[in-house]
Amino acid sequence: MTELLNLKNVTKSFGETKIINDFNFSVNKGELRCLLGPNGAGKTTSLDLITGRQSVTSGLITFNNNDITKWQEHEIVRAGIGRKFQVPAVFKELSVKDNFEVAYGKQKGPFRNMFNMKGSSGIEKFEEIIELVGLQDRTQQVAGLLSHGETQWLEIGMVLMQDPELLLMDEPTAGMTEQETSKTSEIFTKLKGSKTLIVVEHDMSFVREIADIITVMHLGSELAEGTISEIENNARVQEVYLGSEGIS
């Protein structure tokens, strides 16, 4: 398989405190990787470093064999990395369709993109993605009136409208009902292969449904990496994170 993303000996320090400590992490194209660990393990900070939201103290980050360690956020987005945050960032006063239009393209001013989706390729992409996230009957609904799950799916769709090669998802099922979580699992499963995904998640049943490979972080470093069975049978992971019950 072809490597897409690589973090080599990455460290992030605030004064004397190392939040990320000599972290090595690589993901192949088309893979769905789950990033687990207790609170404070460094999962979200790792996503911040990959996207340029925070700067690396030391180490190297490469994407598609390009050194992106010191790139700005907008440069990393244009290179093909999209991110969904834990708290959805949608335009609540706009309709679902208008939100998709704002997200389309990579212009600096988001509202400029509303005029770029009128062509056949933009419309075709919109129709494909809105069906994937299950909001095809909600196109004219004001985003602020959507349910929590629908809002999460809207933001996933908005990220997909940018056509990223790598998607970073930070706790996408947080606050969802069991039914909404199941639908989100279906969305991610359909994306496997065509997109590369890194998913930070605490819902272990959801992880079991979607993960190809799991990386467990602890104190800013890799604790373990492997398949679901390898991770849940790892004594160190049980001690630090999962407990004796494993992934249920």
- Could you give the CA distance from residue 237 to residue 174 in angstroms, rounded to a whole number? 22
Q: Which stretch of 4-8, 46-50, 167-171, 204-208 has the lowest confidence by average pLDDT?
A: 204-208
Q: How many CB atoms lie within 10 A of CB 203?
A: 18
Task: Categorize the per-residue pLDDT at 244 as very low, low, confident or very high, splitting at 50, 70 and 90.
Answer: very low
For residue 181, the one-letter residue type is T
CB-side neighbour CA atoms (13 Å) of 14: 6
The pLDDT assigned to 36 comes to: 94
Tell which residue, 199, 200, 101, 190, has the closest CA to residue 143. Answer: 101
* pTM score, whole prediction: 0.89
The helix/strand/coil state of 75 is helix
Per-residue pLDDT tens digits for 115-148: 555 555 778 899 999 999 999 999 999 999 999 9
Write out the E strands in 15-141.
17-28, 32-36, 58-63, 66-67, 81-84
Give the DSSP letter of residue 112.
G
Per-residue pLDDT tens digits for 215-241: 999 999 999 999 999 998 899 998 888
| Residue with the two structure tokens 């419309």 | 123
Tell which residue, 1, 21, 16, 9, has the closest CA to residue 62. Answer: 9
Helix, strand, coil percentages, rounded to 5, for the chain: 40, 25, 35
Write out the E strands in the chain.
3-14, 17-28, 32-36, 58-63, 66-67, 81-84, 166-170, 196-200, 213-218, 221-226
Per-residue pLDDT tens digits for 71-101: 999 999 999 999 998 777 899 999 999 999 9
Q: Which two tokens stand for residue 70?
A: 């010191």
Per-residue pLDDT tens digits for 187-208: 999 998 899 999 999 888 899 9
Q: Which two tokens stand for residue 158?
A: 């908005």
Task: Categorize the per-residue pLDDT at 63 as very low, low, confident or very high, splitting at 50, 70 and 90.
Answer: very high
- Report whether 91 contacts 101 (CB < 8 A): no
The helix/strand/coil state of 170 is strand
CA 233, 237, 242, 245 torsion-angle sign:
positive
Task: Categorize the per-residue pLDDT at 46 as very low, low, confident or very high, splitting at 50, 70 and 90.
Answer: very high
Q: What domains appear along the chain, each with residue ranges and CATH number?
A: 1-80+166-248 (3.40.50.300), 88-163 (no CATH)
Tell which residue, 232, 18, 248, has the closest CA to residue 240. Answer: 232
